[in-house]
Amino acid sequence: MAEHTTIKSSDEEFKREYFYRNSEAEENREEENRAVIRIQSWFRACKVRAYLSHLHKKAVIIQKIWRGFAARARFRQMVKAAYFIMKMNFYEEMAVRIQRRWRGFFVRKYIHDFYARKKYLEGLLINNELMRRELDEIQDFQEKEREHLKMVKEQTAKIYQAHRLHHLMSTKQTDNLTKNHLR
């Protein structure tokens, strides 16, 4: 029986030990449960952060590729626009050169033809000379006519005067005077 008591006491001790350890485990279980939850949340957060970091790196790669593509496309467009502007400026300059040459040719050929102008000026000089001679002849003729009219007027005045004063002269003198003036 002693064994039995020892067993019973050891059984009691075992029960107490079991109960003590279970209560201790129960007390620690909540703490362990919180620790496990904390470890799990930390691990899950690490996984999510790693996944987000992975996604962020991939997004950066996609953005880098897209921005490079867009910048190259924009640069190509700018080069095309600059080339088009340069080409249009060149064509405009060539058009201006062609217009300048054509206008110079046209003006020299039809508007300011040197030989035609020279011929025109020579003809104008000849016409002016002829006109000047004609005007000089007309002026000489008019001067002679004025002198003739003046002489006729003077003679008429003298004859009129002689007729008015004929009673003062003899008939012979009046006839001689009339003959001299008529010559």
* C-alpha–C-alpha distance, residues 133 and 139, integer Å: 10
pLDDT value for 5: 66
* Predicted confidence band of residue 10 (pLDDT cuts 50, 70, 90): confident
pLDDT category at 164 given cuts 50, 70, 90 is confident
Cα–Cα distance, 137 to 182 (Å, whole number): 28
Strands, DSSP E only, in 32-176? none
Mean pLDDT, residues 156-181 taken together: 69
Angle at 164 between CA 159 and CA 169, to 5 degrees: 90
Cα–Cα distance, 47 to 54 (Å, whole number): 10
Check residue 42 and give its pLDDT. 94
For the chain, the first-to-last Cα distance in angstroms comes to 214
Interval 80-126: pLDDT, tens: 999 999 999 999 999 999 999 999 888 888 877 778 788 889 999 99
What value does the mean pLDDT take over residues 45-57? Answer: 95
